[in-house]
Each structure stands twice: as structure tokens, then as C-alpha cells.
């Protein structure tokens, strides 16, 4: 057993950390408050090869795995720049297209995803279906060689900055008469695709949208994998990378918050010469949060290693556990950091309360903690499905 990173992974961690610190949380918050995007950071990360670490070298990527992408997500978040679109574009879209796209789709999309010039976001959630994906109502109908999509999606991140959105729809399976899922690569400027921005209580330069698909006509080659049989495996292919990278982002955010608070409590003195960090009522909650974040990091490392070894089923259990642990650890770390900073914790200047909304959302999305507990109860503990 070896918990050490390879020297390449170590170098990647150091380099991404340096990039993230050059931008920092102040930059992230300023962009969010100005209603702008972190375009410079994204472009630079792309040029340096960090967005494509998990994409094969023949398509312009780094040839690594989800372990490397998780390092990128964690280190940018640990520098105060938790970029949600890393989870949708390189983690979900690049994995799905690489593993289940046609060769033509790989050539068309992977090089742009690798250098950051192309962003593909992901749309599965629907207002009526919620956590129950079996109820998806967005329908793809065949019309000659074309596909025609109709339906509604909600909370879709980053549609305003992406060239494409990977839409999960249902198709009619003519052999069984049942509906089955399929993924479509839809240009965000396609006729019939409209969006409206949701007002979210999250300080983030990345936005969520309602998407309306009104008879969106697509050429036949918009279907991922070129065959309806590719739909289900393609959908599942994106889940583990999504969970592992979102967990890494949570762990990085937790580290960031604990670091800010520790710096503060190690120097602030309000009772004579003693620092407030010398009081165990202040230090222990921070130490407890640090333990939770470190435990989550271990599970992220395990999940990523299993995934990169091609052990998808085992990776699913670890990825869910990592996401659950990191979601809770990040929320605990940020809340504890705010408390340790006192009034300063609620200021924009100290840059901790600005993360409260994001870490709270991390316990709901992309999969809620309750749905993870359902998964663990059923698949690890052998309980009957409860829903």
C-alpha cells in the first residue's frame, strides 16, 4: 500500500497550487460579484494542460486519470477558486465522450476540452423528476436522420459559458416500447434551446439555469456513441468522475477555510498575550474539521485509484462515500472557520463566509447526501430499496 503521489502528481499539485494562489479567492469573489466569469484562470489552466490532465494524449490531453483531475480540482479550491465547471466539463463531458463517444466525436470535442477552448456542460436534472432520474421527461424523437428534443432542465451550471450541453433525454425503444436514456451533444446556440438564469444564494462566478428545449433539431451524429445502446453506459460513465472531483473540490474548500481560520486564530489576541487559538474552544473545532477533511481526502484518493484502475463498481461505492464525507467536511470546515474568525468571519474581506452557500449546495448536488445513504444502504448493507 502506498499513499504517496508520484513525482509527476506532486509536481502537478505544486504547479496548480501556484496558479490558484496567483488568482486567489479575492479574484474569485470579485468575478462573482461583478457577474463575470473566471475566464483568465480557465484559459491559463487550459494552456498549462491542467484542464485536460485526464484526456488521452492523442487528443491533446495529459494522458492521466481522475486522480490527476481531482488534484487540479482540490488545489484550485484550496487556493480559494472552487471551479464547478471542472466537474462538468473535463470530469463528466470529457469522460463520457472519451469512453463512449464515436471517434468523430472524440476528435471534435476532446482537444478543445483539453486546452479549455471548449466547455461542455451537463443537463440531467428536471423540475418534476428531481433525484428520481427514472422520471426524466425530456424526450428525443427520431425524424429521418435527425433527432428532435423537447423538455425542460433545471439548475444547469455554466450554460452561458459553454459551447455545448450534454443533454440526457429519453428515447423510445422500439423493441420493448419502453423509454431508455440517451445523451446528446447540443450546441448552446441551437434553435429552440432557451435558458433563464436562476437566482442562487451562492457566491460564484458560475451560474445555474433553467433550460427549455422546444423541438431542438439535431443531426444524427449528436447522439453520443452513435447508438441508443451507448446511452446507459455513457450516463453511468460520468457519475464516478463527477462524484470524485466534486468531493475533491469540497476537500480543497475545507482546507482553504481551515487555513484562513488557523492563520487568524494563531495571531489574534483579545485576552492579554494569549492567542484565541490557544483556547481549546476555538482550536478543537478547527482540529476536528481538519480531521474530517483529511479523512475525506483519503477516501477521494481511494475512489480515484479504483476508478483509474478500471474497477468501476468498487469505485462507485468509494466515490459516493468520498462525496458524502467531503460534502459534510467542507460544510463543517467553512462553518467552523466563520465561527473562529468571529465578526471577521462574516466579512467579505476575510473570504470565508463567501463560501457558505457553495459548501451548503455541496451537500445537495450533484447527488444529495440522502441519495448516497440510500445507495450505501442498498449496495453495501444489502437493504431493500426504500423508494
From 95, 171, 208, 354, residue interacting with ligand FAD (rule: CB under 6 A): 208
**312 in Cβ contact with 301 (< 8 Å):** no
Q: Which span (15-23, 121-129, 252-260, 310-318) binds ligand FAD, by CB under 6 A?
A: 121-129
What's the min distance (Å) between Cβ of 188 and ligand FAD? 13
* Residue 228 binds ligand FAD, judged by CB under 6 A: no
Query: By CB under 6 A, what part of segment 138-177 binds ligand FAD?
Result: 155-157
From 48, 148, 232, 371, residue interacting with ligand FAD (rule: CB under 6 A): 371
Half-sphere exposure of 329 toward its Cβ, with a 13 Å CA cutoff?
32
Strands 179-187 and 164-172: antiparallel
* Residue 76 binds ligand FAD, judged by CB under 6 A: no
**177 in Cβ contact with 140 (< 8 Å):** no
* Residue 122 binds ligand FAD, judged by CB under 6 A: yes
Cα separation, 56 vs 82, in Å, equals 24
Question: For residue 95, is the peptide bond before it cis, meaning its omega torsion is within 30 degrees of 0?
Answer: no
**337 in Cβ contact with 261 (< 8 Å):** yes
From 11, 39, 57, 131, residue interacting with ligand FAD (rule: CB under 6 A): 131
With CA atoms as reference, report the closest residue to 295 among 339, 255, 352: 255
Total residues at interface with ligand FAD (CB under 6 A): 23
Strands 274-275 and 269-271: antiparallel
With CA atoms as reference, report the closest residue to 374 among 136, 147, 180, 132: 132
Cα separation, 240 vs 235, in Å, equals 10
From 40, 47, 130, 180, residue interacting with ligand FAD (rule: CB under 6 A): 130
From 72, 78, 91, 124, residue interacting with ligand FAD (rule: CB under 6 A): 124
* Residue 89 binds ligand FAD, judged by CB under 6 A: no
- In this complex, which beta carbon is closest to ligand FAD, that of residue 253 or of residue 374? 374
Q: Which span (169-177, 184-192, 263-271, 366-374) binds ligand FAD, by CB under 6 A?
A: 366-374
- In this complex, which beta carbon is closest to ligand FAD, that of residue 271 or of residue 387? 387
**340 in Cβ contact with 275 (< 8 Å):** no
Q: Give the footprint of ligand FAD on this chain (CB under 6 A).
A: 88, 121-125, 130-131, 155-157, 202, 208, 361, 364-368, 370-371, 374, 387
Amino acid at each position: 500500500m502506498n499513499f504517496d503521489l508520484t513525482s509527476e502528481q506532486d509536481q502537478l499539485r505544486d504547479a496548480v497550487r501556484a496558479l490558484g494562489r496567483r488568482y486567489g479567492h479575492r479574484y474569485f469573489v470579485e468575478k462573482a460579484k461583478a457577474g463575470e466569469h473566471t475566464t483568465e484562470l480557465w484559459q491559463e489552466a487550459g494552456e498549462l494542460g491542467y484542464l485536460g490532465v485526464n484526456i488521452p494524449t492523442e487528443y491533446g490531453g495529459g494522458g492521466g486519470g481522475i486522480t490527476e483531475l481531482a488534484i487540479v480540482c482540490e488545489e484550485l479550491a484550496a487556493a480559494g477558486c472552487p471551479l464547478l465547471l471542472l466537474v462538468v466539463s473535463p470530469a463528466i463531458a470529457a469522460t463520457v465522450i472519451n469512453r463512449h463517444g464515436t471517434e468523430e466525436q472524440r476528435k471534435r470535442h476532446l482537444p478543445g476540452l483539453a486546452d479549455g477552448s471548449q466547455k461542455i456542460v451537463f443537463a440531467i436534472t428536471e423540475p418534476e423528476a428531481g433525484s428520481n432520474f427514472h422520471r426524466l421527461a425530456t424526450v428525443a424523437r427520431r425524424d429521418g436522420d435527425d433527432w428532435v428534443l423537447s423538455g425542460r432542465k433545471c439548475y444547469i451550471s455554466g450554460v452561458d459559458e459553454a459551447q455545448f450541453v450534454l443533454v440526457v433525454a429519453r428515447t423510445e425503444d422500439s423493441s420493448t416500447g419502453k423509454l431508455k436514456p440517451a445523451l446528446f451533444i447540443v450546441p448552446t446556440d441551437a434553435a429552440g434551446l432557451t435558458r433563464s438564469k436562476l437566482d442562487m444564494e451562492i457566491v460564484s462566478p458560475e451560474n445555474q439555469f433553467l433550460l427549455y428545449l422546444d423541438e431542438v433539431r439535431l443531426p444524427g451524429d449528436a447522439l453520443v456513441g452513435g447508438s441508443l445502446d451507448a446511452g446507459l453506459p455513457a450516463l453511468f460513465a460520468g457519475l464516478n468522475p463527477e462524484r470524485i472531483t466534486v468531493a475533491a473540490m469540497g476537500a480543497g474548500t475545507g482546507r482553504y477555510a481551515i487555513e484562513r481560520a488557523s492563520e487568524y486564530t494563531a495571531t489574534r489576541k483579545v485576552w492579554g498575550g494569549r492567542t484565541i487559538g490557544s483556547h481549546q474552544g476555538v482550536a478543537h473545532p478547527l482540529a476536528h474539521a481538519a480531521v474530517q477533511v483529511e479523512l475525506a481526502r483519503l477516501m477521494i484518493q481511494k475512489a480515484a485509484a479504483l476508478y483509474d484502475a478500471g474497477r468501476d463498481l468498487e469505485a462507485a461505492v468509494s466515490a459516493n462515500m468520498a462525496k458524502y464525507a467531503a460534502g459534510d467536511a467542507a460544510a463543517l470546515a467553512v462553518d467552523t472557520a466563520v465561527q473562529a474568525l468571529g465578526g471577521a468571519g462574516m466579512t467579505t474581506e476575510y473570504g470565508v463566509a463567501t463560501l457558505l452557500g457553495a459548501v451548503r449546495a455541496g451537500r445537495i448536488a450533484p447527488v444529495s447526501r440522502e441519495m448516497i445513504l440510500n445507495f450505501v444502504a442498498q449496495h453495501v448493507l444489502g437493504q431493500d430499496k426504500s423508494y
